[in-house]
Amino acid sequence: MKQKIFSLLLVLTALVSLAACGGADEDGNKGVTLNVYNWGEYIDQSVLGDFEERTGIKVNYTTYASNEEMYSKIVSGAASYDVIIPSEYMIAKMIEEDLLAELDFNNIPNYALIGDEYKGLAYDPEEKYSVPYTWGTVVIVYNSAYVDEEDVADESLSLLWNEKYAGKILMFDNPRDAFALGLSKLGYSMNTNEPAQWEAAAEELIAQKPLVQAYVMDQVFDKMISEEAYVAAYYAGDAMTMMDENENLAAYVPVEGANRFFDSMCVLKTSRHKAEAEAFINFMCDTEIAVRNAEEVCYAIPQVEAFRELDEETQNDTMVYPPQEVLDRCEVFVNLPPETAQLQSDLWKKLKTTY
């Protein structure tokens, strides 16, 4: 017994001294740990190792499932992050609330490689706070082995409301994306501030609820790939990933219109390692890295040089890089004013508490 205790103590001492080494390292010049907070399934994890190798800066990488989850974590002050990658409407909200740091673009020379059409968009008009990471649209994914051709012939959102597929339909588990589908179905803008239109969209979602198998975010991968569900609305890049895994899956951008999103890298005002954070952003815009990352996540990239390096099939893939006439019917989210945000929140709870 004594021997056991002794060896236990020995192990503990070893651990403590190891931990102490780690701590000392952190104080050193190159021992900075950068906290990167990104969407789930949204990076080629191997590039993080390259970054550590090249710069000596460690990356502590964590993920979130929705913009709202990320936002509440940050404002609660429960954790400190350096780099975050939110969508455009959330960036606008965070700029308004003074949560983002102005970037020093001298540290991000690769910003020059970002296509002009992705710069200075409405959410960051003066190009001060964000560097575009990827973009895409929301698409309808379906399993062609189970969904009849005539039901997808019109490429409509109404597939999500088709009673034939009751119990096999997946919906977004976040209000912004879910309500956008309801509003588009009714022909309203996703950015409307008209309470009656929001109420009508909520009615659509409540009517759809009995048909829905589950409200999910990244669980959609498993459920669509394993054919547990047949129909889902999700983000284009992730849809591509699913289609790679199961050849029965197909997708379209609905005719009624869809959300087009721009996810961009930002640095938080509270970051204590701003220069390192900018180095990370610059690294992610490096052509070789951006190509590798794009091949993994399957989303459209705004980095022009990297785009040309992609294989031709991807470059011409209309699901990832939709033609202009498709983009024309897409809508980019704007940050909702407080009253509309409150209404959206109330209606979402109404949906989830209608039994």
Partner 1 sequence: MRKSVAPGGSRANLIPYSGWMTLFVLIPIGLVVYYAFTGVNGFTLSNIGWIWTYRKTLWLSVELALIATVLCLLLAYPIAYGMSRASAKVQRNATLFIMLPMWMNFLVRTYAWMTILEDTGLINSALRAIFGEDFSGLRLINNHGAIVLGMVYNFLPYMILPIYTALTKISYSLVEASRDLGANGAQIFGRIILPMSVPGIISGITMVFIPSISTFIISKILGGGKDFLIGDLIEDYFLGNSGVVNYNIGAALSLVIMVLILVATFFMNHFDKDAKTSGGGSLV
Task: Report the C-alpha gap between 15 and 329 in whole angstroms.
Answer: 58
**Measuring CA to CA, which residue among 104, 62, 105, 70 is closest to residue 87?**
70
Select 329 or 352, whichever has its Cβ closest to partner 1: 352
Interactions with partner 1, residue window 331-350 (CB under 8 A): 336, 341-342, 344-345, 348-349
Q: What is the three-class DSSP state of 120?
A: coil
Select 61 or 146, whichever has its Cβ closest to partner 1: 146
For the record, the structure tokens of 209 come out as 């609820």
Task: Report the C-alpha gap between 289 and 268 in whole angstroms.
Answer: 23
- Candidates 68, 151, 155, 203; binder of partner 1 (CB under 8 A) is 68
x/- binding map, residues 288-327, to partner 1, per CB under 8 A? ----------------------------------------
Kindly give the pairing relationship between strand 33-39 and strand 83-84.
parallel
Residue showing tokens 């379906």: 142
Does 355 engage in binding with partner 1 (CB under 8 A)?
yes
- Candidates 175, 182, 254, 322; binder of partner 1 (CB under 8 A) is 175
Select 50 or 227, whichever has its Cβ closest to partner 1: 227
Query: How many other C-beta atoms are found inside a 10 Å radius of the C-beta of residue 325?
Result: 7
| Site size for partner 1 (CB under 8 A) | 32
**Measuring CA to CA, which residue among 251, 246, 235, 249 is closest to residue 297?**
235
Task: Report the C-alpha gap between 87 and 320 in whole angstroms.
Answer: 17
For the record, the structure tokens of 179 come out as 């309500």
Residue 80 beta carbon to partner 1: minimum distance, rounded to whole angstroms: 18
* Dihedral sign of CA atoms 105, 287, 302, 179 in order: negative
- For the chain, how far is it from start to end, CA to CA, in angstroms? 59
- Candidates 227, 295, 309, 331; binder of partner 1 (CB under 8 A) is 227
Task: Report the C-alpha gap between 346 and 335 in whole angstroms.
Answer: 17
Does 72 engage in binding with partner 1 (CB under 8 A)?
yes
Does 272 engage in binding with partner 1 (CB under 8 A)?
no
Does 86 engage in binding with partner 1 (CB under 8 A)?
no
Select 125 or 167, whichever has its Cβ closest to partner 1: 167
Interactions with partner 1, residue window 110-149 (CB under 8 A): none
Select 73 or 292, whichever has its Cβ closest to partner 1: 73
Stretch that binds partner 1, among 147-155, 171-179, 275-283, 291-299 (CB under 8 A): 171-179
The separation between CA 254 and the C-alpha centre of its own chain, rounded to angstroms, equals 20
Residue 228 beta carbon to partner 1: minimum distance, rounded to whole angstroms: 5
Does 353 engage in binding with partner 1 (CB under 8 A)?
yes
- Candidates 66, 130, 259, 293; binder of partner 1 (CB under 8 A) is 66
**Measuring CA to CA, which residue among 116, 113, 108 is closest to residue 274?**
108
Select 176 or 274, whichever has its Cβ closest to partner 1: 176
Kindly give the pairing relationship between strand 83-84 and strand 249-252.
unpaired
Interface with partner 1 (CB under 8 A): 66, 68-69, 71-73, 75-76, 167, 173-176, 209, 212-216, 226-228, 336, 341-342, 344-345, 348-349, 352-353, 355
